[in-house]
Amino acid sequence: MAIAKAERLMNLALCLLGTRRPLTKRELRESIEAYIEAAATGSGGGDEAFNRMFERDKDDLRELGLIIETVESVDGEIGYLARRDSNRLPPITLDAEEAAALGLAAKVWQQARLAGAASGALQKLRAAGMPLAEDPYDPQPAGALEPRIPVHEAAFEPLMLACRDRRPVMFDYRKSNAAQPEQRYVEPWTLECWRGHWYLAGWDRERAAERVFRLSRITGRVRLRAGAYTAEVPDHVTVRETVERWSGETATSTARIRLRSGHGYPLRARALHTRPLGDGWDELEIPYGHGLDAWLVEFGPDVVVLAPDELRADVVDRLRAVAKG
């Protein structure tokens, strides 16, 4: 489903669920931004374009399971209403961990683009003086202290929809050791947030292998592609475990590095031992696993690898690749 249509259906559903009385076509047309645009650009005052769009949206919501009532007023005007008691889910029992995970997932939309669009229609109805039903499942006032998962990357929303709809994507991706981004053709599987960063796991078609991508390294626009997946989607995708290996979290030994004083606090937080060397440098012993070289390169001239030799060589190779780019 296109993002614009998803926003429009969400706005219509919120309007129908969020009012105590039936809303007429005219009121819905004046409250939902997509309907306003359709009416403004259509011929004959936009009535035909709006009516076709509204009827399709109403049928789509009913197909998705929303119960929409058609009510005729005393003066014969038709209105539409989705009563909360008719559309309420049966009681769901969740344990503490499931409830916490569900709550955090909902908070993603606090910063994603659909959050503002979804509330826009209700705000216009409230401004017009229409009584809106209070949400019994959200008694806390706006602005109350609550956990949120930040979503700053523009790639998040199109990738989330691509994962849901099983649509291949193309995007430009800059690796940590590369000066220029490369185009990647990916069958996206899942998104996961780990330590404040979002990652995508999927099948890289050109490399014919599973890959994990950090969203903050995706440059430009995510482009959807037609066609079916060529690789089977695994039942369990280990995004977090993969990222841990790449960042050296799954350590198999230790490494010694020199770190400039006052720099590299993430490295200092993981250090097993720290010893001042003087002249503005410290010596650290840190866990060493696959991918530690890529992480150390990000600290640039503030880090010098002392041991082991293979880690030092890997870091030097990555720095040379960046310099050549």
Token pair 């008694």 in the structure block, residue = 139
Q: Comparing C-alpha atoms, which of 24, 28, 27 is closest to residue 11?
A: 28
Regarding predicted confidence, which is higher, 4 or 65? Answer: 65
pLDDT of residue 42: 58
State yes or no: pLDDT of 48 exceeds 50.
yes
Q: Where is average pLDDT lowest: 7-11, 99-103, 289-293, 299-303?
A: 99-103
pLDDT grade for 293, boundaries at 50, 70 and 90: confident
- The four Cα atoms 61, 65, 69, 70 give a dihedral, to 10 degrees, of 40
Regarding predicted confidence, which is higher, 250 or 221? Answer: 221
pLDDT of residue 248: 53
Q: Where is average pLDDT lowest: 31-45, 135-149, 232-246?
A: 135-149
Query: Domain spans of the chain?
Result: 3-127, 156-243, 253-324
pLDDT of residue 141: 44
pLDDT of residue 261: 93
Residue 162 CA to residue 167 CA, distance in Å, equals 5
Q: Comparing C-alpha atoms, which of 243, 301, 303, 235 is closest to residue 267?
A: 303
pLDDT of residue 1: 43
pLDDT of residue 153: 82
State yes or no: pLDDT of 280 exceeds 90.
yes
pLDDT of residue 281: 96
pLDDT of residue 63: 86
Regarding predicted confidence, which is higher, 78 or 177? Answer: 78
pTM beyond 0.75, yes or no: no
pLDDT of residue 136: 42
- Tell me if 133 sits within 8 A of 20, measured CB to CB: yes
State yes or no: pLDDT of 168 exceeds 90.
yes
Rounded average pLDDT over 199-218? 92
Which one-letter DSSP state was computed for residue 280? Answer: T
Token pair 């509330």 in the structure block, residue = 119
Of these ranges, 70-84, 103-117, 133-147, 275-289, the one predicted with the greatest mean pLDDT is 275-289
Question: Which residues fall within 8 angstroms of residue 144, CB to CB, at 6 or more apart?
Answer: none
Q: Mean of the per-residue pLDDT values for the chain?
A: 79
Is 203 buried (19+), middle (13-18) or exposed (0-12) by CB count in 10 A?
A: buried
Q: State the distance between the two ends of the chain, measured CA to CA, in whole angstroms.
A: 39
Residue 36 CA to residue 55 CA, distance in Å, equals 15
State yes or no: pLDDT of 247 exceeds 50.
yes
pLDDT per residue over 88-128, tens digit each? Answer: 766 666 666 766 665 555 555 555 555 554 455 545 545 55
Rounded average pLDDT over 184-205? 88
pLDDT of residue 115: 52
Residue 66 in tokens: 């929303």
